[in-house]
């Protein structure tokens, strides 16, 4: 079964180009397009795509961030991947706070966008490397100021291990296979991690893990 994708961007040429790229993949299918956040919200509720590829800024209509927050409240099962020109940690924080599952730059290679769509559809989070590195830098600066201490200490070694794998995009089944655990055990650990850290969504886990320096880069 194909991954159903909705594209939201204020430029018709971008919508057309993305549609061609995505439809060229055997496992992906564009089910609709939208020119602003309101149209994306309305169409997503009707079409129920697996993933919405959402631009942040779509003047003069509703922004992608606003539409993301509304859509995650109305249909939390729909995964949202933000596609933007802004390589700025301010936008990254706002994206995560709005409930998006991923963040990728428009300048990224095409294969990275396809990978990101597949990854967020599986329930994993996707953060473009340059953006994630900015999170780590921000965390290091906070450490120097003596902030954000304490919570991490309540996690067990196993929970920290699982947290790192979740943040790197592994699905529960993949984590279970890698650590020789049952999927149910991994899910239990994930629930405990979120309770201990007072987090509610997977993107929040990724953000926390990035701040703790748990992500590795090639």
Structural domain contains residue 158: yes
CA distances from 74 to 77, 78, 188, 208 (A): 9, 9, 26, 25
Choice among 24-28, 41-45, 130-134, 154-158 with the minimum mean pLDDT: 130-134
Structural domain contains residue 41: yes
Helices (H), 168-218: 172-179, 183-197, 202-211
Task: Enter the DSSP assignment of 76.
Answer: T
**214 pLDDT exceeds 90?**
no
Query: Are 123 and 23 contained in the same domain?
Result: yes
Query: Are 97 and 185 contained in the same domain?
Result: no
Query: Are 79 and 163 contained in the same domain?
Result: no
Query: Are 191 and 113 contained in the same domain?
Result: no
Structural domain contains residue 70: yes
Helices (H), 75-182: 89-98, 110-121, 129-144, 157-167, 172-179
The model's confidence at residue 170, banded by pLDDT at 50, 70 and 90, is confident
Structural domain contains residue 57: yes
User: What's the domain range around 161?
Assistant: 133-211
Which single residue is written with the structure tokens 């629930």? 191
Query: Are 9 and 109 contained in the same domain?
Result: yes
**167 pLDDT exceeds 70?**
yes
Average pLDDT over residues 38-61: 93
Q: What is the pLDDT at residue 136?
A: 47
* Selection from 83-92, 151-160, 209-218 with the highest mean pLDDT: 151-160
28-34 and 3-8 beta bridge pairing:
parallel
Q: Where does a domain end: 74, 105, 127?
A: 127
Query: Are 93 and 49 contained in the same domain?
Result: yes
Query: Are 161 and 106 contained in the same domain?
Result: no
**18 pLDDT exceeds 90?**
yes
Q: Where does a domain end: 127, 156, 174?
A: 127
Query: Are 98 and 187 contained in the same domain?
Result: no
Structural domain contains residue 202: yes
Structural domain contains residue 218: no
- Taking the C-alpha atoms of residue 128 and residue 197, their distance in angstroms, rounded to an integer, is 24
57-100: pLDDT as tens digits: 887 788 888 899 899 989 999 999 998 887 666 567 677 778 88
Q: Where does a domain end: 109, 127, 145?
A: 127
Query: Are 114 and 138 contained in the same domain?
Result: no
Query: Are 120 and 179 contained in the same domain?
Result: no
CATH of the domain at 45: 3.40.50.2300
Query: Are 100 and 172 contained in the same domain?
Result: no
Structural domain contains residue 111: yes
- Taking the C-alpha atoms of residue 112 and residue 155, their distance in angstroms, rounded to an integer, is 32
Task: Enter the DSSP assignment of 143.
Answer: H
Structural domain contains residue 206: yes
Number of domains in the chain: 2
**45 pLDDT exceeds 90?**
yes
Query: Are 17 and 99 contained in the same domain?
Result: yes
């Amino acid at each position: 079964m194909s991954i159903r994708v909705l594209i939201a961007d204020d430029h018709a040429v971008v919508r057309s180009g993305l549609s061609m790229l995505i439809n060229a993949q055997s496992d992906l299918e564009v089910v609709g397009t939208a020119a602003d956040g309101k149209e994306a919200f309305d169409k997503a509720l009707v079409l129920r795509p697996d993933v919405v590829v959402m631009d942040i800024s779509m003047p003069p209509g509703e922004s992608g961030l606003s539409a993301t927050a509304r859509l995650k409240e109305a249909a939390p099962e729909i995964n949202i991947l933000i596609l933007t020109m802004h390589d700025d940690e301010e936008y990254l924080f706002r994206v995560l706070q709005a409930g998006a599952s991923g963040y990728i730059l428009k300048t990224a290679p095409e294969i990275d966008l396809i990978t990101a769509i597949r990854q967020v559809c599986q329930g994993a989070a996707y953060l473009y490397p340059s953006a994630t590195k900015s999170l780590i830098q921000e965390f290091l600066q906070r450490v120097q100021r003596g902030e954000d201490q304490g919570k991490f200490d309540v996690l067990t070694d196993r929970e920290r291990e699982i947290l790192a794998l979740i943040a790197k995009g592994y699905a529960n089944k993949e984590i279970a296979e890698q650590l020789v655990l049952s999927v149910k055990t991994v899910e239990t650990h994930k629930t405990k991690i979120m309770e201990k850290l007072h987090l509610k969504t997977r993107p929040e886990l990724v953000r926390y893990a990035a701040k703790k320096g748990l992500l590795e880069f090639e």
